[in-house]
Structure formats: structure tokens, C-alpha cells
Amino acid sequence: MLDGYEGWIHSFYSYELFGKFEKNINISKYWVKKKFTNLIFNDGTSLTLSFGSLLPCLEFDNKIIIKLYDGREGELDKNDLSSYENPLKLCEFIDLHINQFLGIQYLWGGKSSFGFDCSGLIQTILNVCGVSKFPRDTSKQINSKFLSPISGTPSKGDIIFFKKNNIVNHVGIYINNNCFIHSSGSVKINSISNSSEYFSENLKSMKNQIFRLSSYVK
């Protein structure tokens, strides 16, 4: 896994995906940047893929093709994808795509449009925006080499961590200098400023600290 988490797959599912294709076809990796996109197969059936899926794709004739382990081929809409090698900048992503997550249910361990936990939401957004080594868990995210603590007014793309009893247990990402998006019950927008319509008394009662990403990311 990109974040160092270990996973496994049964040997039954192993498959040489691209061995049968011509040498002049380019194989590229793409992130799904939309909440959901459909992989459309030649027989008219489809498979729903969620935000944050990382896909090895074949590129030719201005088409994006993916080949499954069972030999089926499907076509993807390139407008729903973000290049792994040339990802969107974080602030651009926030402006164009962040609202698509509102209302997605909280799911412990979730890191897709089918459900997010708080750290899964932040990690998946940053992955799609080029921060591929950002840690999975909140307790490790706050110590990431990509972040530096700041004081003063937060800006778009800053990360806010919350502590209870001096233990980091929640995280969100600023979408402007007043409000942040996070997953708590569902993905929502809140603020700790009592002058904001998105004010959250529950979060304000917790200690918080704001961090800024390395400038090259934003």
C-alpha cells in the first residue's frame, strides 16, 4: 500500500494484466477524482469505481482502458480521472471537487465514496493531489513530514487536528480561512468560529492545532 499499510490478495486473483498488448501502448496510473465513475464494459455492463481508486490504465486513441484480471476490458471517462504523475493541486481540487463529498456517511476505516472516517477522508484527498505517502491514521498524520504547525489565520488546504484529553482523535481540512470539511457522522462543513453559520460547539470545546502542507503540494 502507498501508506505502508499491509494488505493481501489470494493468489487465485493474480493476473498479468498487460502482457498481451502491443509494446507501443502506454500504461499509466490514474486516480479517480470524482465521487463515482463508471467503468463501461464492451457488453454494456458497468462497474462503479469510487473516488481515490488508483488504476493502471491503457492509453490509446484518446481512450482510457482498464483490463481486469478475468480478461474483461472497460473504458473510463478521462474527465473523471487525475494523472498519478501530474496530479491536481490541492487548492484547485478544493475549488472544483470538494463539495461532492458532502453527506457521504461516516465509516470507520473507510477511505472511499462508499464511506469515510476522518483520517481516511484527508489521506484520500491528499493522495489524489499528489501526497502519496501521507499516513493513514490521525495520530501519525499530525507528525507527517509534509506538515508544519502554524499560528494565526488558516488558509485553504491547511489541516486542523483536534485533541481530547491530550490525545489526537479527529482531523479536517480547511476549504477557506473560516471553514473546514471533515467526516463526523457524515462528511460535512464546520467551523470553530462562533461568527460562522457552520459553527460547531462540540469541536470548539476540543483543543485544536493547525498545520500547513509543504508549499509544493498546495
Please identify every residue annotated as catalytic.
118, 170, 182
Q: Are 140 and 196 in contact (CB under 8 A)?
A: no
Angle, helices 90-97 vs 118-128, to 10°: value is: 110
Residues 192 and 202: their CA atoms lie apart, in Å, by 9
**C-beta of residue 110 within 8 angstroms of C-beta of residue 120:** yes
Residue 173 CA to residue 11 CA, distance in Å, equals 38
Q: How far apart are alpha carbons 80 and 96 in whole angstroms?
A: 12
Inter-residue contact 214 to 146 (CB < 8 Å)? yes
Judge contact between 76 and 64, C-beta under 8 A: yes
C-beta separation of 89 from 62 below 8 A: no
